Amino acid sequence: MKSLKVGLIQQRCVADVDTNRQKLAANIEDVVTRGAELVVLQELHNSLYFCQVESVNNFDLAEPIPGPSTDFYGTLARKFGVVLVTSLFERRAAGLYHNTAVVFEKDGSIAGKYRKMHIPDDPAYYEKFYFTPGDLGFHPIHTSVGTLGVQVCWDQWYPEGARLMALQGADLLIYPTAIGYESSDVPEEQERQREAWTTVQRGHAVANGLPVVAVNRVGLEEDLSGQTNGIQFWGSSFVAGPQGELLARASNSEEENLVVTVDLEHSEQVRRWWPFLRDRRIEEFASLSKRFID
């Protein structure tokens, strides 16, 4: 496949899960009618971003995989004949939960899943309370539209996962995301953070010679505990090419569906110009497995 049309769905979420899912279904249909062959959703798209507070009641949002949501999204993938990347709150067992990306093939079957590896624990992002770190490793998922290097949000700040996906033949790097502004930061700091988020992922594209797809939430979600002023998710979902070039970037404040054509053949040429995989000094990298080198 020389090119691929990728649909990105950047939307606001509400408290009602069924409302979010029906809205996503309509948006999936929209990008498919515009030619999308691969559709990527944002992180934890079924609900509000519940990790702003630590509440055991929020575990009721979790579902087994397979389960009701995989049935729902699998049906959509089959109906529209599209490969679909979703992000679900997985209940693996009582007291054992994951932040899990599930990829559906065009026939509605589960092509594979990835459990989020890096789990943040910051004010308004209390994910360690909810999610056990992933145990499936960094392995791309094979689909009919290409081999997808799927990770989730906080993973996008780390180069190692992107590299491991690339070394195993990923055609694209994909990051469902939920990230936004802290209200007490001045506008200049907020913009530095948003641009850093974009830049580090464009760096993964350059370092690995692969396109990157990042899909973020948008809009203000309140902190029901009152400890913060909530999160203003900064949207800005984007697609970057294998040289880090921005192919498309969504609004930082509004809902938006994008359909972006990605030239997969271009990655081959870029890697011939910049043979980073060839020149890696792998015999000197053993210390990367250490937490810190004293």
Catalytic residue list:
43, 116, 153
Position of tokens 């993964």? 204
Span between the terminal Cα atoms of the chain, in Å: 47
**For the chain, what percentages of helix, strand and coil (3-state, to nearest 5) are there?**
35, 30, 35
Q: What is the C-alpha separation between 120 and 124, in angstroms, rounded? A: 10
Closest CA to 116 of 130, 139, 89, 98: 98
Q: What is the C-alpha separation between 256 and 29, in angstroms, rounded? A: 14
Spatial contact of 246 and 202, defined as CB atoms under 8 Å apart: yes
Spatial contact of 8 and 237, defined as CB atoms under 8 Å apart: yes
C-alpha distance from residue 244 to each of 8, 165, 230 (Å):
18, 17, 31
